[in-house]
């Protein structure tokens, strides 16, 4: 299935700019539509957080300040959207099934970002999210985890530096799990258009399930020729995986996420967490 609709939860940070550039690059590659979604904070949510000891006037002042800050941020994000769309020569209009070029539109809603993004992602072929900020714990990336755990759809983590291309040289991180099988399904239309595809596997990464040769045979049935590379841990499986992807010149890494529980990975670390924190290329994840 071709990529026709992308969802982009849009923020005003530098990471948000890179994600917007990445999403527009993908849209041009697929002649797809980008819905740039900015979720504004509801000033009414401030009142329950104010606590006791504050007068009604003080709470009203806090709500007014929150509303002003939210409006200013929405204005800045919309200006960023307009600037980047013009740079990428993407037409601004509502999605239409018969257009043969990339399009985009901007939407601003009020509510809880993780809830709205997860719901909207259920009818998107791909959700593009910013790379976690350098000073941000990956466990607090609410929109990212909301899409992973509550949308049933793939999510693409944009690198901090926008890539020149996405999906021409693809790596599949394979360990035989249901999560990695889901990532293969999501990446299949990409692989059918790619210049080269490589399956990355390792003894310390493989779980109970089909091996890399079985995956290669399956992909061949879909017209995809993929070679197999066994990577070696470089202090961690995640580091070895990323190094192997970089060695291949990969511009899209597709992998399953959180084969172990998320709590275990947050406490002990894991492949998913390492990739989220350290990837310098686009990474598409599935649960």
Read off the pLDDT band of 265 (50, 70, 90).
Answer: very low
Grade residue 61 by pLDDT with cuts at 50, 70 and 90: low
Q: Are 170 and 191 in contact (CB under 8 A)?
A: yes
Question: In this structure, which topology does domain 169-286 adopt according to CATH?
Answer: Rossmann fold (3.40.50)
pLDDT score of 92 more than 50:
yes
Cα 162 to chain centroid distance, Å, stands at 13
> Identical fold at 5-46+72-157 and 169-286?
yes
Q: What is the pLDDT of residue 267?
A: 39
Residue 285, pLDDT above cutoff 90? yes
- DSSP state, 175? -
117, two tokens: 């993004």
> Which of 112, 116, 43, 107 lies closest to 77, judged by CA?
107
* DSSP string covering 87-116: HTT-EES---TT--S-EEEEEEEES-HHHH
pLDDT tens digits, one per residue of 77-88 = 999 999 999 999
Q: How many CB atoms lie within 10 A of CB 49?
A: 8
The mean of the pLDDT values for the chain is: 87
Q: What percent of the chain has pLDDT over 70?
A: 85
Closest listed residue to residue 33, CA positions, set 116, 122, 96, 121:
96
pLDDT of residue 230: 96
Q: Give the confidence band of 62 by pLDDT, cuts at 50, 70, 90.
A: low
CATH 3.30.360.10 correct for 5-46+72-157: no
Residue ranges of the domains in the chain?
A: 5-46+72-157, 169-286
Average pLDDT in the 210-238 region? 94
Question: What confidence score (pLDDT) does residue 11 get?
Answer: 80
Residue 60 has pLDDT above 90, yes or no: no
Cite the beta strand spans of 43-102 per DSSP E: 91-92
Nearest to 220 by CA among 251, 202, 206, 199: 199
Query: What's residue 96's pLDDT?
Result: 83
pLDDT value of position 207: 87
CB 11 within 8 A of CB 77: yes
What average pLDDT score do residues 43-55 get? Answer: 57
For residue range 10-21, list pLDDT tens digits in order: 887 778 899 999
Q: Is the pLDDT of residue 266 over 60?
A: no
Token pair in block for residue 284: 């598409």
> Is residue 84 within 8 Å of residue 24, measured between CB atoms?
yes
Q: Provide the 8-state DSSP code for 131.
A: P
Choose among 208, 35, 52: nearest CA to 126: 35
Phi, psi of 92 (to 5 degrees): -90, 110
Report pLDDT for 44: 60
Quote the pLDDT of residue 188. 98
Longest dimension (CA), the chain: 69
Residue where the block lists tokens 């003894």: 203
Residue range 94-142, pLDDT digits in tens: 888 877 899 999 999 988 888 999 999 999 999 999 888 644 555 557 7
């Amino acid at each position: 299935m071709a990529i026709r609709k992308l969802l982009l939860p849009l923020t005003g940070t530098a990471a948000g700019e890179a994600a917007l550039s990445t999403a527009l690059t993908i849209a041009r590659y697929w002649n797809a539509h980008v819905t740039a979604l900015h979720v504004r904070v509801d000033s009414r949510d401030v009142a329950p957080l104010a606590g006791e000891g504050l007068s009604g006037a003080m709470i009203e002042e806090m709500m007014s300040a929150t509303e002003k800050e939210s409006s200013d941020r929405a204005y800045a994000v919309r200006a960023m959207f307009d600037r980047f769309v013009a740079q990428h020569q993407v037409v601004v209009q509502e999605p239409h099934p018969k257009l043969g070029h990339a399009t985009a539109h901007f939407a601003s809603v009020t509510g809880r970002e993780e809830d709205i993004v997860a719901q909207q992602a259920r009818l998107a072929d791909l959700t593009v999210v910013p790379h976690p900020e350098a000073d941000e714990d990956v466990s607090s990336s609410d929109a990212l985890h909301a899409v992973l755990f509550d949308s049933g759809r793939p999510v693409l983590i944009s690198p901090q530096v926008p890539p020149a291309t996405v999906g021409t040289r693809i790596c599949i991180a394979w360990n035989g799990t249901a999560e990695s099988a889901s990532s293969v399904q999501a990446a299949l239309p990409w692989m059918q258009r790619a210049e080269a595809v490589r399956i990355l596997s390792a003894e310390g990464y493989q779980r109970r399930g089909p091996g890399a040769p079985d995956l290669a045979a399956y992909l061949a049935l879909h017209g995809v020729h993929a070679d197999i590379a066994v990577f070696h841990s470089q202090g961690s499986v995640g580091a070895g995986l990323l190094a192997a992807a970089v060695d291949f010149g990969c511009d899209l890494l597709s992998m399953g996420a959180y084969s172990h529980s998320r709590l275990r990975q947050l406490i002990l670390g894991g492949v998913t967490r390492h990739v989220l924190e350290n990837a310098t290329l686009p990474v598409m994840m599935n649960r």
